[in-house]
Amino acid sequence: MEEEGAPVQLYVYDLSQGMARMLSMNLVGRLIEGIWHTSVVVYGTEHYFGQGVMESMPGRTHHGVPLQVIDMGRTHIPRDMFLEYLDGMKKHWTADKYHLLDNNCNNFSNELCNFLIGKNIPSHITALPAEFVNTPFGQSLLPVLENMFGPSQLARSANAAANAATAASPGLSPSLASLVGNVAAAAQSAPPSKTALQSAYNVAQLDSILASHRCVAIDFTSMSCGPCRVISPEFERLIESYNREYRQTGMGAGARVDGNKIVGVKVDVGLSRDIAQKYQITATPTFKFFLDGNEISQFKGANVQELTNSIELLLYSAYPPHPHTKQRTPILDSLPNSPILFAQSTQLNSIFNKLETFMREQSITDKQSQLDALKTALQAKHEKGQSGALHLPNGWKELLDVLLQRIPTEQLFPVLDILRLLILDEAIRDFYVKNDPESTVMNVLYRFGGQQAQPETVPKAVRVMVLRLACNHFTSPTSIAQLLSLSQTLAPHATPFRSVTTALLIDSLLSPDAAVRQCAASLAFNISIEEAKSRQSHAGVESGREDEGIHEEWVSELVAAIAKAFEDEEEDEIVLRLLTAIAHLLRFATPSIQQLATVIGVGTAVTQKRATREEQLRNLRTKGATGDAQIKKDLEKKEKIVGLAKEVVELL
């Protein structure tokens, strides 16, 4: 009968590759068979601790073939429960918690085996660090190891202290220093680390770091070097600071991927003689800077300003600013860059009177008190100038839900008009963004825009109010994020919120009605300035939030749709809004987006529109028709279109 449970095995490796057995008798006074590294194999996967909790196919780690495989027993812990426990361990067994003596791979294996089978791993493995430290040679090496991993928690016995007093000075020979460095590197090694600050103990480890990161700054240091101790904390601070804060407007895609912009590496030349020899280090501190594996600069000494300048030069070389940073756009910069909102309403009585009529037609008679209270609150805010939050009646949300469900589409415009005013209130907006399981606003946009409803089936008044509602959602970071979210979707069709917003925009841009097109142009403007702000504050797509290619496709879709609407548009106000949107989307755009704009003829359309407006300006000035106030406003719009058109062409 097959034994129940899953087998648990302990894989044992020798980090010294046999050197401990060869040298230990002379160095320590007793035989040490190996410097043990262990991992646990269960459910077909090898689990171990180094740069955090790692996993691999059994026997396929960078440690090679195990020296010994120990059958620990069989576990009856279900695989799902084990994986859940392992996820919990990952939160505590992190790379920064690794310590060669106190918190190493063997401690991890021991804890894992205790969970799986209630059994410790062999004591000769877990006891080795304490045994080693309690020797004269171990005491002499303790400062070296503590310099690499931090203070050790191992208790120092009286015998160890006495041994330390008589121990020889820890002047390490080159071969011994190399051995210590290699063991330390192997113990904590793993596939290329993603941490911004790393250490290298041998050439292979440093080569791996250089091959894995675009920008690498190396601090060649020494424990006995006073200036090194002064500048080393500054080196660490600068690396962390630049990874966290460094931004350049329009920076290339390389700076937007997940990971570090620059990696700092510390090399102790006393422990890493092979690295020091390869890079010809004759003094400490020495700093070298590498771009794509090639050295671009170096300097010697503890000069913080020179270190700062060298790091900035490295980053600038790797992620140069967009060519548009050198191009002046005074017209674009002079135009408002705040979202267009539809915040005014002087016809509240008319809106509510129409709504009451429609409610009676649908036999909605039990909501009059809530409707009256809602009207009073909006009048206080929008007609009497009351400041502060709206004072809405209990049940206001249920009232709107009933109206949205029961009022026919052609009569819904007063309900949507009320909703677009309500959404301007911070508390109500936050409710709809954070606490509305029905996603009411996004469902309204989906229901009356895009693929769900063709423009001809949605009355003009309803489409206008839906677009105004979308524009008024551009009033806070959270509500903007909701409109443009890819991760949030509408059930049951799982359409991303951003797709809903985009479909509404594109369908409305080509409407035969000027009022709809003007609102659509306002929405296009709002989206474009948000994209422009994102490029300047996050260098495009914020790291970790969205794939660069997907974002580029979306912006390309916007450019194509807005450019088509712009080409066919003749109303100056709409032309100016669309042209401004195009300018924001093209400024600091990726080469692919710029190329698309050229291919679809954006430059030609903008040039033609500019020529038309220049001719209109000449005709108006020739006729002397510039005295009327309205004509002056028209002239100003045409002049802005002409100037902005010139800047857009130069952006291509």
Task: Output 560 or 143, whichever has higher pLDDT.
Answer: 560
The yes-or-no verdict on residue 155 having pLDDT over 50 is no
Beta bridge partners of 11: 39, 69
* High-pLDDT (> 90) share of the chain, %: 41
Crossing angle (nearest 10°) for helices 460-472 and 413-422 = 10
Tokens 């100016």 identify what position? 576
Instruction: Please report the pLDDT score of residue 367 as a whole number.
Output: 82
Per-residue pLDDT tens for 230-271?
999 999 999 998 888 777 665 544 444 446 789 999 998 887
Tokens matching residue 340: 């267009």
Which phi and psi (to 5°) does residue 6 adopt?
-105, 140
* Cα–Cα distance measured from residue 162 to residue 164, given in angstroms and rounded to the nearest whole number: 5
Pairing of strands 215-221, 263-268: parallel
Which 3 state secondary structure label does DSSP give 10? Answer: strand
Least confident of 179-188, 224-233, 323-332, 640-649: 179-188
Tokens matching residue 81: 């429960």
* CB distance 480 to 474 below 8 Å: yes
Q: Where are the beta strands (DSSP E) in 371-507?
A: 489-490, 495-496
Beta bridge partners of 267: 220
The yes-or-no verdict on residue 160 having pLDDT over 50 is no
- 344-485 CATH, one of 1.25.10.10, 1.20.58.1000, 3.90.70.10, 3.40.1280.10: 1.25.10.10
Pairing of strands 495-496, 489-490: antiparallel
Pairing of strands 36-42, 45-50: antiparallel
State the fold for domain 192-321. Answer: Glutaredoxin (3.40.30)
Task: Tell me if residue 105 is catalytic.
Answer: yes
Which phi and psi (to 5°) does residue 215 adopt?
-115, 120
* Cα–Cα distance measured from residue 128 to residue 107, given in angstroms and rounded to the nearest whole number: 11
* High-pLDDT (> 70) share of the chain, %: 85
What Cα–Cα distance (Å) separates residue 226 from each residue in 115, 306, 469? Answer: 46, 18, 64
Instruction: Please report the pLDDT score of residue 167 as a whole number.
Output: 42
CATH 1.25.10.10 domain span(s) along the chain: 344-485
Out of 37, 47, 213, 473, the active site residue is: 37
Least confident of 73-77, 85-89, 179-183, 577-581: 179-183
Instruction: Please report the pLDDT score of residue 413 as a whole number.
Output: 92
User: How far, in whole angstroms, is CA 75 from its chain's centroid?
Assistant: 40
Per-residue pLDDT tens for 329-379?
999 999 999 999 998 876 888 898 998 899 888 888 888 888 888 888 888
Crossing angle (nearest 10°) for helices 460-472 and 514-538 = 20
Task: Output 276 or 159, whichever has higher pLDDT.
Answer: 276
- Mean pLDDT score, 34-50: 90
- Mean pLDDT score, 611-620: 89
Instruction: Please report the pLDDT score of residue 627 as a whole number.
Output: 62
Out of 47, 105, 471, 473, the active site residue is: 105
Predicted TM-score of the model (pTM): 0.64
Which DSSP string do the residues of 546-599 spell out, in sequence order? S-HHHHHHHHHHHHHHHHHHHHH---HHHHHHHHHHHHHHHTT--HHHHHHHHH
Which DSSP string do the residues of 160-207 spell out, in sequence order? HHHHHHHPPP----HHHHHHHHHHHHHHH--S----SEEE--SHHHHH
Task: Tell me if residue 493 is catalytic.
Answer: no
State the fold for domain 6-169. Answer: endopeptidase fold (from Nostoc punctiforme) (3.90.1720)
* Cα–Cα distance measured from residue 4 to residue 496, given in angstroms and rounded to the nearest whole number: 46
Per-residue pLDDT tens for 205-233?
888 889 888 899 999 999 889 999 999 99
Instruction: Please report the pLDDT score of residue 298 as a whole number.
Output: 96
Which 3 state secondary structure label does DSSP give 38? Answer: strand
* Cα–Cα distance measured from residue 399 to residue 89, given in angstroms and rounded to the nearest whole number: 49
CATH 3.40.30.10 domain span(s) along the chain: 192-321
* CB distance 548 to 540 below 8 Å: yes
* Cα–Cα distance measured from residue 504 to residue 351, given in angstroms and rounded to the nearest whole number: 24
**CA dihedral (65, 66, 72, 77) positive or negative:** negative
